[in-house]
């Protein structure tokens, strides 16, 4: 605890600069993003993500997890600003109020910066639009122990605050990259990673395909499916059986079914 | 198309009565709910759900699916009110604007009204709080061809408009029931349905368990897990492996992994 009084003006330039990071343009211009929530900040710290500044509202720090995260934020040496409940309400945006927000520099999302283990399992999501879906896929991908999540032709920025939130911070743990679909297809070929694409009209059931070895699970946007880039001979299309009245599954649900079938076959 | 001018006053008593159905208390008092969206209404009609009244805004009816749904709403003989864009904006609540909203009487949710096929696969979700999670589970359950989704000690009403929306209307196709956890456990025993419960601390991997035959997949709330009711000897706990930094999966993702493993083993 500092003895300085908590900052209580939402008009403070540092608070205003932090709030501006909710806009994609500002994130791209500064190379920074805003992380809301104790668990999310904790996972960023565990991944050695660079923290530029943080904001803490002592009156809202209630859990042991949140107290521990504040202590670790203090250890980083980055500026830590104590703020009032009112200012924290401006800074935070999730449905929880953990009392801590951090400004961080996300890691590189360059394909060529990914380091892969032997026989990697990776996920490629094309044209993902909703940050919530991206975050949900990252959370599941972390659970399945994937080597990387790659966003192809993404319509949202990967380190969107809502993606960070929906991932519960696992976005800082799973290596992520972005690129054009054609570039990713080349990258997979160069690394001898076999792409398996989810398609509603594929003739083969996913469970009948060998999902061991170096493998990429490729998923398209829910409304439009995968683009023609993923229709080549090097890509194996697979179908998740639809036994009811609906014609498709949520993209993060489809990712979960395919990833955990791969995990099952690999162990 | 009628020749009557579209209703343009949001103060109209029928419009106000329809909007009130967004409140749970009003849904419980009237036994009705409000369905927003062409696909959702279409699925309710396919399931022969009773439509009491509908509201259509011709200026927002753009897809062939929406036009077909309006034609089918007209065939029901229930009152169909043409409304202005402004009134439809009051009535609709999703992020799409399909131009059609229906007031329907949801089917019974009594356990004893469920009719089961031989060797049923059912899902039990305890203490589900978010209508969006319930809807997501229903959509996946429909895909997996389950015989019923049962909400135990539910903290939301099943036919919450947001659950209907998140299910894309599959909620009208999958039989649903509600009950207390103890009552459901008895019901499962009476029908010789074996409960398999997802627990993060279970010693057995879900993929090592026989998921054929009469089976219930039981899931608890994400934050608190299953209550002690589901800890008895008659319940088999199973674990979904967590290979990353996170300690749990989203409940609808966990449901998808378990349900599709059951589908895989059964086919």
- In the predicted model, what is the mean pLDDT of chain A? 94
pLDDT of residue A71: 97
The kind and range of the H/E element at A176 are strand A176-179
A105 touches chain B (CB under 8 A): no
pLDDT 10s digits, A46-104? 999 999 999 999 999 999 999 999 999 999 999 999 999 999 999 998 666 789 999 99
Identify which of B241, B235, B204, B205 has the alpha carbon closest to the alpha carbon of residue B220.
B235
Q: Which of A147, A174, A217, A250 to mutate: most B Cβ within 10 Å?
A: A250
Distance (Å, whole) CA A43 – CA A57 = 19
Residue A125 phi, psi dihedral angles, 5° rounding: -120, 120
Q: How far apart are the C-alpha atoms of B254 and B98, rounded to whole Å?
A: 31
Closest by CA to B51, choosing from B83, B81, B16, B76, is: B76
- Do A104 and A50 contact (CB within 8 A), yes or no? yes
Give the pLDDT confidence of A91-149 residue by residue, as tens digits.
998 666 789 999 999 999 999 999 999 999 999 999 999 999 999 999 999 999 999 99
The length of chain A in residues reads 267
Give residue B121's pLDDT: 98
Q: What is the average per-residue pLDDT within B179-200?
A: 97
Contacts of A170 in chain B (CB under 8 A): 244-246
Q: Which residues of A touch B240 (CB under 8 A)?
A: 143, 260
3-state secondary structure of B82: strand
Inter-residue contact B119 to B147 (CB < 8 Å): no
What pLDDT, on the 0 to 100 scale, is given for residue B6?
84
* Partner-chain residue, chosen from A142, A243, A245, that has the shortest CB–CB distance to B244: A142
> Strands, E, within B72-204: which ranges?
80-82, 100-105, 121-126, 148-152, 176-179, 194-198
Share of chain B above pLDDT 70, in %: 97
Confidence label for B95 from pLDDT (cuts 50, 70 and 90): low
On the CB side of B54, CA atoms within 13 Å amount to 31
This prediction's pTM: 0.94
What percent of chain A has pLDDT above 70? 97
Confidence of residue A20 (pLDDT cuts 50, 70, 90): very high
Cβ-nearest to A244 among B173, B240, B257? B173
Cα(B34)–Cα(A55) distance, integer angstroms: 42
Hey, how many other C-beta atoms are within 10 angstroms of the C-beta on A170?
24
Contact A46 B245 (CB under 8 A): yes
For residue A105, CA distances in Å to A82, A219, B41, B131, B192 come to 21, 28, 46, 35, 55
CB contact under 8 A, B253 and A249: no
Task: State whether B244 and A170 contact (CB < 8 Å).
Answer: yes
Please give the order of strands across the beta sheet that includes A148-152: A176-179, A148-152, A121-126, A215-219, A194-198, A236-238
Question: B200 CB near a chain A CB, below 8 Å?
Answer: no
Which tens digits make up the pLDDT trace of B27-73? Answer: 999 999 999 999 999 999 999 999 999 999 999 999 999 999 999 99
Contact by Cβ (8 Å): B13, B81: no
Distance from CA of A238 to the nearest CA of B (A): 14
Identify which has the larger pLDDT, B38 or A5. Answer: B38
**Which pLDDT tens digit goes with each residue over B198-228?**
999 999 999 999 999 999 999 998 888 999 9
Of A168, A242, A256, which has the smallest distance from its Cβ to B143's Cβ?
Answer: A242
State the ipTM, two decimals.
0.93
* CB hemisphere CA count around A235 (13 angstroms): 24
Q: Chain B residues with CB inside 8 Å of A145's CB?
A: 243-244
| Residue B59 dihedral angles phi and psi, to the nearest 5° | -70, -20
Q: Is residue A235 very low, low, confident or very high in pLDDT (cuts 50, 70, 90)? A: very high
- pLDDT at position B211, please? 98
Domains of chain A: 13-105 (3.30.1330.30), 111-266 (3.40.1280.10)
Q: What share of chain B has pLDDT > 90, as a percent?
A: 89
Q: What is the CA radius of gyration of chain A?
A: 20
């Amino acid at each position: 605890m500092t003895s300085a009084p908590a900052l209580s003006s939402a008009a403070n330039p540092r608070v205003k600069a932090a709030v501006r990071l909710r806009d994609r343009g500002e994130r791209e211009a500064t190379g920074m993003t805003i992380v809301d929530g104790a668990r999310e900040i904790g996972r960023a710290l565990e991944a050695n993500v660079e923290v530029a500044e943080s904001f803490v509202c002592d009156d809202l720090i209630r859990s042991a997890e949140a107290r521990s995260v504040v202590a670790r934020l203090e250890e980083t040496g980055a500026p830590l600003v104590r703020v009032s409940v009112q200012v924290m309400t401006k800074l935070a945006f999730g449905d929880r109020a953990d009392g801590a927000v951090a400004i961080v520099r996300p890691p590189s999302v360059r394909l060529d910066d990914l380091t892969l283990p032997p026989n990697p399992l990776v996920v490629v999501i094309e044209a993902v639009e909703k940050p919530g879906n991206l975050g949900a896929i990252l959370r599941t991908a972390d659970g399945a122990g994937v080597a990387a999540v790659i966003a192809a032709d993404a319509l949202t920025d990967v380190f969107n605050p809502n993606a960070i939130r929906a991932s519960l911070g696992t976005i800082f743990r799973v290596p992520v990259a972005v690129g054009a679909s054609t570039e990713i297809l080349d990258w997979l070929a160069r690394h001898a990673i076999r792409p398996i694409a989810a398609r509603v009209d594929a003739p083969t059931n996913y469970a009948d395909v060998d999902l061991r070895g170096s493998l990429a699970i490729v998923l398209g946007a829910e409304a439009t499916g995968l683009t023609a880039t993923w229709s080549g001979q090097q890509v194996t299309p697979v179908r998740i059986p639809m036994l009811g009245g609906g014609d498709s599954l949520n993209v993060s649900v489809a990712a979960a079914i395919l990833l955990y079938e791969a995990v099952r076959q690999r162990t």
